[in-house]
Each structure stands twice: as C-alpha cells, then as structure tokens.
A and B are shown apart, each in its own frame.
Chain A
Amino acid sequence: MIVGLDMGGTHIDGVIIENGTIINTVKKPRADGDIFGSIWGALEGLLLDQDTTKIERINLSTTVSTNAIVEDKTTPVGMVIQTGPGLSGDFLACGSENVFISGCIDHRGKVVERLDSKEIDRAKELFIREGLSACAVVTKFSTRNFEHEVQIKRLLGDGFDHITMGHTLSGMLNFPRRVFSAYLNAAIHNTFNRFSHSIKKAMIEREINAPLFILKADGGTTVLAEAENRPIETILSGPAASFMGLNALLKTQEDALLLDIGGTTTDIFFLADGVPLFEPMGIEINSYKTLTRAIYSVSMGLGGDSSVRVENREIMIGPRREGLPYALGGPCPTPTDAMIALGLVEFGDRKKATAAMKSLGQILGLSVEETARDILDIMADMIKSKVDELLDKINDKPVYTVHELLHGRKLRPRLINLIGGPSKYLSPVIEKAFGLPCHYPKDYAIANAIGAAMAKMTQDITLVADTERRLLTVGEFGVRERIGRGFTLKDARKRAIGLLEDRAVAQGANKGEIETEIIEENSFNMVDGFYTVGKNIRVKAQIKPGLAGDLKL
C-alpha cells in the first residue's frame, strides 16, 4: 500500500494505491498558512478505516520549501565564498552576510592556495555577532575537491543550527549556481525541518511506521532524512507531481509531448523514450538559478480563459486572462466561449458565448461556427509553434563530440498526452495541428496525488577519477578515496553504480525498483610532454527516473 499526497495551490489531493489499484482518494481545500495542518488533515481523512501497518511508504509533495522562498520567509544566512581566480564574485553576495575568502582549488581539484583560517575565524565572529543561525560554505571547484568546504565548516564550529556545504548538493560544475543553491538550502533549512519534525511527531502519535519520502522537482523522491539535509531539492515539486501523474495515467515508452492546458496557461513537458526530460542545468526560483535537477517545463500564457480579440483582422489569443469566460459572466470572449458556442461543452450561457463569437465574427466576416473553430485552431497552432521552437532548442543543445554532432539523438515526439479541463474538446484540434495521436485521461482530478504516489527514489552522482593523482571523488556523497594507477573507466562505472545502489538501499529504497544507469562517461588520457601520465575519468550515474510500477485503471 502506497500513499501519495500532493499539496497544490488551493487543494490537497491524496490517494492510496495497492498493487496498482486506487483504493481510496481524498481532495481537501488547504487551510491558509498551516501547511502541516492541511497535510495532516488530508492524511487522516485518507487513512480513516485503513490498516496503517500495511503502508509501504508515504510519498509527499509539499510546497513548504517553495513557499518559504517565494514568500521570502527564509532564515538569514552567513555565506563563506571562495572564488579563486575567475569571474569577479560580487554578484554572488546572496546571504545577509557574505565573506569572500582567499585560497583556491583548480579544475583538477589541486589545492593551489591554502585556506587562511584567520579569515574563517573572523567570519565566524561576524556571523555570531549578527545573530545568524544558518551558514553556507561554497568554494570554486568543490565538486572536484571538497576539502576546503569541509575545513571551513569545521572551523565555523558547532554553534550554528545548520551549515550547508556546496558540494553536497550537486556534482555539476557551476559555481554561481552552487552558491545560490547552497544559500537557498541553508535559508529554508529551518522551515523545512520544523515541518518535518511536526510530521514525524504526528506519525509517531498515530503509530504510522512507514517511511516518508518527499517529492522532488525532478519527479523522483528522497527519503525525509535526506530532504532534511537538502530541502532545496523539494522546491517546485508540484509541476513534477502533475507531470508524473499524467505519466502514470497514460504510460508510454516513446518520445512524447505532454501538455497541461489550464485556464490561464499551457504547460509543456517532454518525454524521451518515456523518461522525463530535465532542465539542462537546474531550476530557477525567485530569479535564483540553482543546480536542483527539475523536470523541463515551459509555461505559455495560453489557456481556456485567455482573452480573445481581433487585431488587424486577425484573431489574437492571450497571453492575458481578463477573467472568467464571457458565457460565465466574464468580460471578454475566450477559447472556452468558442467551445461553449460550438456545443462541445455544456456549461455556462450558450447564448452569451454565441454572441461573443458573433461580435468577433462580424469584424472578420465569418459565421459564429467558423469564428469558434478558428479560435480553437489558432490556439492549437500557437501551441504547435511554441513546441517546435522548444524542440529546435532542445535538439540543438551543445554537444562536445564529433559523434554526437553527426549522429546525436534527436527528440521527436510520436504522441501527445493532454491533461486539463479542455483536454477532451481540444484533443481533435491539437491532433490535427500536430499530425500526432492525442490522448487524455478520463479522470485526472487527483492526478497529482497519483504522480506523488507512483514516484520513486531518484539520485544522480558525478564521479571524477584522476589516476595521476590517484584520487576518486564523488562530491554528492562526500566520497574521496585513493585509487590505483590502473583504475579504468570500467572500474569507475562499477564504483559509481555500487555507491548509488548502496546509498539507495540504505535509505529504504526497494532494491527491485531501483534501476541504475550510466548517463555520461568520458575517459581522457592525460599527457605530460609526450608521455601518458594517467587518465582523467568522469562518470555520471543515476537511478533511472520514472514510475514505480504500473497503475491499473
């Protein structure tokens, strides 16, 4: 028995799934300002009359971290930043106190200039004087060698509630993003941990022993204890839940386009061979670019309630929503009015919808029906041209080998999965515009909760091995170990997969559900003069994202 809960903007959805079958659901309005209370209320409702000892896991998608950032209810953070040579670092000053220190580690992870512990002592004094409880320490190239970050943390001491070290958040190279990610992580640490404490306490009281997992922006989950260390990963899990829900309801192994058409916006997602496409670097929140892996999604200002008008004898839709559709008492015509006028949907005042179409049609010399159909066709065309533009960008992402440039894989959707209010009625129009088969789920009311329930643990790591220096580093796990000079790419693959599997199982993942894979690998001969002195090996491995099992519908 798996429990899935998703906290949306207005409601909380819940679902219990047993052997792929939905056995109970709940949908409750959320109480303002009380995230824990709202979630616990929904969970209690969901678990009423259920045998809680049968729960294998609870997957929770919560806005607690997102809200803290967006509503600016974060903890002030003291930042210690080591920029080394390169871009000047002023723009990195994101904390309430920012101390830039000397010392430097280069691209191969060599310490070029040592830390000055006096600088850290001074930072510590400053942070204490300013009453800061959270800190973040980030050094350039800490994913290659995190010893400075570890030393700084040790020098800052135990007096702070929390200290985030940059290298623990991601193995990717991008110093500014690492700084911002570490800042945000430290800034929301308290908020998330208060929330997690409340949940744990309530679960003990209710005698629920099941492990709790938190949904992440990449559509996977992480065990609560990990989320407590890295709450940044739990931001923006809402769109991920909806995306995973749609995937569970309409499973595919192909390249696919996913559209969530709402009242105000249309959200665009992609699957490559049925696996979610991610943002290339990480998600952006409140204008902070982070290293947090997230599902690629683009939102366009076009939905059922977008305003429709005629400009220069052309129908224009969106990007603004002026209010409800005209047929529902709103100020101006909308695509929904077009659907009502055509009799595709049966709500609202059809007479008003018809009148709205007529007034537009008169300018264009078109009948009511022609006008309504044109509006829907134009809406589909607008989505199509946006999708084409995105696909061009995705398929032109920078590549670094001759092989990839000449024979690289291109994303080409074979089908479209639709979700959202007008899906059923727009499906034929979208099908025509794209020339691709279109599917939509019959019932999607609790898709987000299903998405949360069906999500499985994800994790990706970057392993760097330098056989000349005889060192192997995996920043995310804080692993730095000696290797032999004969260490090969094959050894690196094996070590990366082993580390991932051990960690996943230790965190309560079901070994059967874990599928690991190598997603990137390189091995370069390092040459000094005319002699090969070693190999520089880089391997990226991940637990394959996707759904835990199949849903029986």
Chain B
Amino acid sequence: MIKAKNSLGLVFFPAFDWAISPTHPEREERLLYTRDQLFEEGISDIEGIHFYNPIIAHERDIQRVHFCVPDVASRLTDSHLIAAGGAIKAMDAVMKGDVDKAFAMVRPPGHHAQRVVYGDRGFCVINVEAVMLERLRQDYGDLKVAIIDTDCHHGDGTQDIYWNDKNTLFISFHQDGRTLYPGSGFLGEFGGPAAYGYNINIPLPTGTGDEGILYVLENVVLPILEDYKPDIIINSAGQDNHYTDPLTNMNFTAGGYARLNSKLNPDIAVLEGGYSIEGALPYVNLGIILAMAGLDYSGVREPDYDEEALKQTEGTTEYIKELSHLVYSRWQNRERLWAEDIKGKDIVELERQVYYDTDGILENQTQTFISCRKCSGVNTIDSSSDGGYHIYAITIPRDACAECIHKGHKIYKEASPGDYTNIYLQDRVNDTCFSK
C-alpha cells in the first residue's frame, strides 16, 4: 500500500440522519457519494491517514463565539454541536501532534454564521471554524491564525467574527457579491479599527476557472501569508467554485482544488458549502485529501472533465490580474489606509442589515467599536430582528486591557433590561459569558 508524506487526520461525519428539510441541498444525501468514493479508493488503508469520530462541542464553545438568541439550546440541534465537535477533534489531533494535518468533512457548514445568531443563514447556524479556533486558543493559548475561505460564497460570518481581530487574518475569495448570495465581500470590507487591513476580500468574476483561482492564490494569498507569518493556516474549504455546482457560476475543477490545497498547505481544512454532490464533491474531497497528505493527485479528475470547455476567457484573466494587484497593494498599504480612514476616531460604527435566507429572518444591527490604545477595545452590538427580539451584546476581546475589561462589565451592568429583550456579555479574557 501507499504511505502519506504528511500524516493526515480525517473527521468524516456525513450525518446521514440529518437534513434542513427533505429536498434542501443540505440533506442526508450530501456526502453519500463522497463516502462511496473515499471508501472505494481505500483511503482508510493508506498508511498515515487516520479517521476520527467527532466529539460533541459544549454550549460554552458556542457562547465563546456567538450570541445565540435567545440561547444556545433554542438555536442549535445536535448536528451543529457535532459539526463543530468534528472540527475541534480534527484540530486537536494536529495540535497534539498525532497527525501533521487534518480535514474535517462535517455538515452543516458554518461560514455564514455571524456573531449574532437568530437562526439559519446560508445553511449555517454556528461558525464551525470559529468555534473550533476559539476552543483551540482556550486550550493552547494565543495563536496567530490565517483563515482562507475558498468557498464560492463570501464568508461573511467569519468576516463578522474576526472583523476586529488582528491575530486572525481572514482572506475570502469568492464569486462577486453582485452576482451571488450573500451579496457582500468587497474590497472596502477591510476590517475593524483594531484590525484594519486584516480582512481581505477578493470578489471574482463569474466563469473564473483553475487559472484564475490559482493566480489569486499565488499572487495575493501566498504573498500575504508570507508577510503575515501565521502559526496556523485554516482552509475554510467550500467546494462550490466547481463547474458543476448548481448554486454558483464558476469553473473550478477537482484538480484545481487539489493544486490549491497543495500550494496553500493548510494545517486544517474544514468543509463548507458545495452542493454538486455527485459530480463534484466525491472528486474534490478526494483531491483535497490526497493533496493534504502529500500524495499524487494527478489522477483526480471528474468523469466529464473537459479542459477546453472550462477555460476562462482572456477578459476574465485580465480582470483577475488587475484585481489581484489592487488587493495586494491595499494589503501592503494597510497602515497608510488605516491612517487615512480610521486614525483619530474614538468610536467606529458599523450599521448593517442581515438577512437569514434559510429561516427568513431580517436583522438590523449596529456594531460599535470603541478604540483603545492598549488593546483591540470593547465592542457592542445593538440588534433587533423582525422576530421581535431586541438585543444588546458586549464583547471584551481576548487581548483586552484591564481598563477595557472593567469597561465591558460596566456597560453590561448599566444596560437596562427594560430597553432590550436580551443582554449578553462575552468576557473573552476570563472566558466567561453572562446574559440577562
């Protein structure tokens, strides 16, 4: 048999007994053909590849990242806790040194889940990677982490969670928000006042193929990672850039995904979206596994693969070159841009409307970031939903100074329950949560 160059932990949990609804794309059948392909390839017999069962994440793990309204128990099912637990298990195997790398193939996905959770949006309720990462930081201390979101949809949830966190670099490349859900992910979304420039979006034109995505990887993502020098690289591994995906309009292939992972060299990948369950997922997942394990993936191709038909146009190539140049120069000039856009402001406010497409909920929120010279500063969210909730949520960040810890608790104490249906406090320094 063959031996993996990098030992690889796999959490493969298809949740064959769980669906959002019987005909929803996020249903029992989603990873069925992936399982068939992985089993038929004999992946479990490859020396150095180890399968793990998920653990079940705790309520605490969710509260560390999210404000679930009204509470965790009412918003989550066991499958959400298992999806997050699967990612935690995978990451833990890497951190313990049991394996070099890990890939958590879990469902449902998580990258559209933002800090406030009223329900399901983009098939996501909790942000699987963020829950994993914050548990990891709790267990293994502060880590500098880069999350590369390779899903075709903008990872707006992950962006929201790490908006003001300089220690978590977030890069998302995706089909341009003007042509696809969730409609965000533009260059101007550049991070909060304490992390300006550390949220990077690369909106790609429809029809982008292997050439374009690999160009972005080599000319934007990898150079930025070289500058940033993360301790850990996470691939938020959506598979819907694939040319057969029913929800998107891109031309990426299984071979392209394999090359991407080989070059990106992530420590952990977590499955996100991807709903071409027969034509793409079996091959894309196989490609990612082989690439991460350092094995030959040249034989991974879709049965109907046609190189010529999947070539992107020259116009697309040119557009992507210019876009890449712009994004990378913004990263290089992030301090100057901060001085122009943020410097001198005591408070930065972010007002948004968030639509929960899966559950049909509309949320209006204002996030307020209070600047601090010593730390990232306290931030608050004032949010109301058309479901009748009006909440106030306060976050004391991990790096908060003594003054800001005090300030956060004071804001929480002074917030009047008469004005809101729910008031929450996340004290990340002491890893505690409060609500009233």
Interface residues of A (CB under 8 A from B): 83-89, 91, 104, 106-108, 112-113, 140-141, 144, 172-177, 281, 289, 396-403, 405-406, 522, 524-527, 529-532, 536
A493 to chain B, nearest CB (A): 18
Distance, CA A532 to CA B28, complexed state (A): 13
Distance, CA A409 to CA B298, complexed state (A): 40
Partner of A281, one of B40, B44, B54, B303: B44
**Cβ–Cβ contact B45 & A289, under 8 A:** yes
B42 at the interface (CB under 8 A from A): yes
B17 at the interface (CB under 8 A from A): yes
Distance, CA A398 to CA B38, complexed state (A): 13
**B contact residues around A529 at 8 Å (CB):** 246
Chain B contacts with A in 221-237, Cβ cutoff 8 A: none
A464, closest chain B residue (CB): B36
**Cβ–Cβ contact A174 & B40, under 8 A:** yes
A428 to chain B, nearest CB (A): 37
Distance, CA A529 to CA B39, complexed state (A): 27
| Given known A-B contacts A86-B286, A87-B299, A176-B1, A107 and B12 have beta carbons under 8 A apart | no
Distance, CA A542 to CA B302, complexed state (A): 35
Partner of A406, one of B29, B42, B78: B78
B279, closest chain A residue (CB): A106
| Given known A-B contacts A85-B301, A107-B40, A177 and B45 have beta carbons under 8 A apart | yes
| Given known A-B contacts A104-B303, A524-B32, A402 and B40 have beta carbons under 8 A apart | no
**Cβ–Cβ contact B298 & A88, under 8 A:** yes
**Cβ–Cβ contact B41 & A87, under 8 A:** yes
One digit per residue, 1 when the CB lies within 8 angstroms of any chain A CB and 0 when it does not, for chain B 3-34 equals: 00000000011111110001101011100110
**Cβ–Cβ contact B290 & A87, under 8 A:** yes
Partner of A405, one of B40, B54, B304, B305: B54
Write 17 A-B pairs (CB below 8 A) sorted by A numbering: A85-B300, A86-B40, A87-B299, A91-B2, A107-B33, A107-B37, A107-B282, A175-B40, A176-B41, A176-B45, A402-B17, A402-B18, A522-B16, A525-B27, A527-B22, A527-B29, A536-B32
For the complex of A and B, the 8 pairs showing the least CB-CB separation, nearest first, are A112-B303, A173-B39, A176-B42, A107-B36, A401-B17, A173-B40, A524-B29, A88-B299
**A contact residues around B278 at 8 Å (CB):** 106-108
B283 at the interface (CB under 8 A from A): yes
Distance, CA A526 to CA B278, complexed state (A): 10
Distance, CA A527 to CA B24, complexed state (A): 8
One digit per residue, 1 when the CB lies within 8 angstroms of any chain A CB and 0 when it does not, for chain B 197-226 equals: 000000000000000000000000000000
Distance, CA A407 to CA B56, complexed state (A): 12
- A87-B290, A289-B45, A406-B78 known; 20 new pairs, CB 8 Å cut-off, are A87-B299, A87-B300, A89-B299, A106-B278, A106-B303, A107-B278, A140-B40, A175-B42, A281-B45, A397-B53, A400-B13, A400-B14, A402-B17, A402-B82, A405-B13, A524-B29, A526-B29, A530-B23, A532-B23, A536-B32
Distance, CA A106 to CA B34, complexed state (A): 11
**A contact residues around B328 at 8 Å (CB):** none
**B contact residues around A88 at 8 Å (CB):** 296, 298-299
A281 to chain B, nearest CB (A): 7
**A contact residues around B305 at 8 Å (CB):** 85
**B contact residues around A526 at 8 Å (CB):** 29
| Given known A-B contacts A85-B301, A400-B14, A174 and B42 have beta carbons under 8 A apart | yes
One digit per residue, 1 when the CB lies within 8 angstroms of any chain A CB and 0 when it does not, for chain B 134-147 equals: 00000000000000
A399, closest chain B residue (CB): B53
A238 to chain B, nearest CB (A): 24
Distance, CA A524 to CA B19, complexed state (A): 11
| Given known A-B contacts A85-B299, A174-B45, A176-B42, A402 and B15 have beta carbons under 8 A apart | yes
Partner of A86, one of B23, B35, B299, B304: B299
Residue from A112, A174, A530 whose CB has the most chain B CB atoms within 10 Å: A174
**Cβ–Cβ contact B295 & A87, under 8 A:** yes
B181 at the interface (CB under 8 A from A): no
